[in-house]
Amino acid sequence: MRYEHSFLKMLCGVLRLIGTPHSGYAGELDHIKLAASVELMHTATLLHDDVVDGQAHRRGKKTARMIWGNQASVLVGDFLLGRAFKMMVECGSLRALEILSQAASVIAEGEVLQLASTARDPNATYEADYLRIIESKTAELFAAAAELGAVVTKRPQKEAEALRSYGMNLGIAFQIVDDALDYAGSSDALGKDKGQDFKEGKITLPVILAFRRGSEDERAFWTRTLHKGDQQEGDLQLAVDLIASHNATEDTIEAARQYADLAIKALDVFADGPIKKALVDVCNFAVHRSH
Amino acid sequence: MRYEHSFLKMLCGVLRLIGTPHSGYAGELDHIKLAASVELMHTATLLHDDVVDGQAHRRGKKTARMIWGNQASVLVGDFLLGRAFKMMVECGSLRALEILSQAASVIAEGEVLQLASTARDPNATYEADYLRIIESKTAELFAAAAELGAVVTKRPQKEAEALRSYGMNLGIAFQIVDDALDYAGSSDALGKDKGQDFKEGKITLPVILAFRRGSEDERAFWTRTLHKGDQQEGDLQLAVDLIASHNATEDTIEAARQYADLAIKALDVFADGPIKKALVDVCNFAVHRSH
């Protein structure tokens, strides 16, 4: 299940389909260059994230840092960012550059936010904080990629906004499911080490729900393991059990379902057809990969 | 002696002086935004470099990674890159974006090149390789910053090329002196740990000259310490002594002097006056800070 990578590719491909047949689109390679730029930006953030999080596995394989080291991962990430930047500029669309530079800023800000919020008191963490982090670290790039499809093909503003909303809500749904799987999925399906968020003290939606519904003892457990970072043998299994006992996984997936529905709803401005159906299928896939 | 930082600032300031009084320059804040972007890009590369090199000190102070850790340094570096990118795009000059995206690519490529060339056989390392690395990792940003001064103020192509040449040659001179000081300067004057290049196995001009002029035993020493990375107590002092005994420091500074002269020569297209004099002074300062 190497869904993450092929997922973004699928999105770019689908947008290309929806964009190119109409309009006064001139630059034949621009949509490909922009899609490639988004991929490179995405890959660069993954390389850096794995260094920052000390990840050993991603998509079921060793991370680059385990093979070539942290140094190469930082520098090659920077190299990919440089190349992405160069390719974007070659397209010559200032509007596209505005969208992508905005996305780059928001994403980097989200990463810093997340680092600052790690090991925070679960008691003081609300869904709003959580959503702000996943919007910036994940959904913003989906939104930018989707909006770009409308920008390079010079579609009306209404369609650009619809596609941006589609990408944003799909990205949120995607990340929420990812966070649910970190506790409820198998490492094989997840493609990375299960329980990674727990080890890193990240406060994600399943934890927020389990904390809110938990007893005093359970809350003390979450505070000790995530806020104070004091984790012992068996704690991950207990976390998994607590989340299961409060139906926190199901409700997390249900939250993702709501965002996926918002993404589908955003497509109302487009006519029905096989392309729209493919975009809808992506939303359903993002939620159902959890089952 | 916090020359590195104030140095780039000085350059941007001087370029602003040389550019703004003439021309049909409209965007009042553009040169400031672009200069700030260059500073942010530069700072981001320093944050990442210190992580990659494991630096403990820079400009005589603890590095960010020693205070806030490698994680924050990687992410905040990315954040500064994102902000720089956003600010550049706000200026709306595609030509400026071309120059800066080209610089970003070349700089990142240079960093990767340097990582790959570290701990290489000194016997197989020529000045051309060394120059290629310092051109990309250091001089390219000087060249871009200088050229931008002409671009935002809409000066003729001839002046843009002259300023690019000025920046490139000045950047090379600056880096060569930096590399000489790593062996010959005091840690105080250098503002970072002396002998850092030696510890990292970087093959710089003083080493290339000392190797070329050295006996068989001396070459074996350089191969052991830099190529094989086998360094023992007292090796750094021996390296410093070998470089001194072959006049490698003086000849390295002399090479820097030649590039500084090329930078000064590039300014021939501009009329004499206090601004040109300031630009010339920067070149002389870059070389003389070694004495």
What percent of chain A shows pLDDT beyond 70? 84
Q: Provide residues of A within 8 Å CB-CB of chain B.
A: 45, 48, 51-52, 70-72, 74-76, 78-79, 81-83, 85-86, 88-89, 92, 94, 97-98, 100-102, 104-109, 111-112, 115
Average pLDDT over residues B230-251: 95
Q: What is the mean pLDDT of chain B?
A: 85
Q: How confident is the model at residue B232 (pLDDT cuts 50, 70, 90)?
A: very high
Q: Provide residues of B within 8 Å CB-CB of chain A.
A: 45, 48, 51-52, 70-72, 74-76, 78-79, 81-83, 85-86, 88-89, 92, 94, 97-98, 100-102, 104-109, 111-112, 115
**What is the pLDDT, as a whole number, of residue B103?**
94
Nearest CA in chain A to B93: A94
Lowest mean pLDDT among A169-178, B188-197, B227-236: B188-197
What are the chain B neighbours of A98 within 8 Å (beta carbons)?
89
pLDDT higher than threshold 90 for residue A273: no
Nearest CA in chain A to B115: A72
DSSP state at residue B57: E
Which of A101, A118, A200 is best to mutate for the B interface (most B CBs within 10 A)? A101
- When CB atoms are compared, the residue of B45, B108, B115 closest to A72 is B115
CB A67 within 8 Å of CB B93 = no
Segment (H or E) for A235: helix A235-245
SS3 sequence, A182-230? HHHCCHHHHCCCCCHHHHHCCCCHHHHHHHHHCCHHHHHHHHHHHHCCC
Average pLDDT over residues B252-279: 92
**What is the pLDDT, as a whole number, of residue B29?**
72
Yes or no, beta carbons of B48 and A75 under 8 Å apart: yes
**What is the pLDDT, as a whole number, of residue A114?**
79
Q: How confident is the model at residue A35 (pLDDT cuts 50, 70, 90)?
A: confident
What pLDDT, in 10s, does the model give residues A198-219? 988 889 999 999 999 999 999 9
Nearest CA in chain B to A86: B101
- When CB atoms are compared, the residue of A79, A92, A111 closest to B78 is A111
Closest CA to A197 of A250, A236, A151: A236
Q: What is the mean pLDDT of chain A?
A: 85
Question: B22 to chain A nearest CA, in Å?
Answer: 27
What is the Cα–Cα distance from A152 to A30, expressed in whole angstroms? 7
- When CB atoms are compared, the residue of A78, A82, A109 closest to B79 is A109
pLDDT higher than threshold 80 for residue B1: no
Yes or no, beta carbons of A79 and B45 under 8 Å apart: no
What are the chain A neighbours of B81 within 8 Å (beta carbons)?
78, 81, 104, 108
Q: How confident is the model at residue A289 (pLDDT cuts 50, 70, 90)?
A: confident
Yes or no, beta carbons of B111 and A48 under 8 Å apart: no
How many residues can be counted in chain B?
Answer: 291
pTM for this prediction: 0.83
Please spell the DSSP secondary structure of B181-225, one letter per residue.
HHHHS-HHHHSS-TTHHHHHT---HHHHHHHHH--HHHHHHHIII
Is B134 or A115 the better-scoring residue by pLDDT? B134
- When CB atoms are compared, the residue of B82, B92, B105 closest to A82 is B105
Average pLDDT over residues A79-87: 93
What pLDDT, in 10s, does the model give residues A9-22? 555 555 655 555 44
Lowest mean pLDDT among B23-37, B132-146, B270-284: B23-37
What pLDDT, in 10s, does the model give residues A256-266? 999 999 999 99
**What is the pLDDT, as a whole number, of residue B225?**
94
What pLDDT, in 10s, does the model give residues A171-195? 999 999 999 999 987 655 555 667 8
Yes or no, beta carbons of B74 and A79 under 8 Å apart: no
Average pLDDT over residues B76-103: 93
DSSP state at residue A28: T
pLDDT higher than threshold 90 for residue A6: no
Lowest mean pLDDT among A214-218, B118-122, B130-134, B256-260: B118-122
What is the Cα–Cα distance from A227 to A118, expressed in whole angstroms? 8
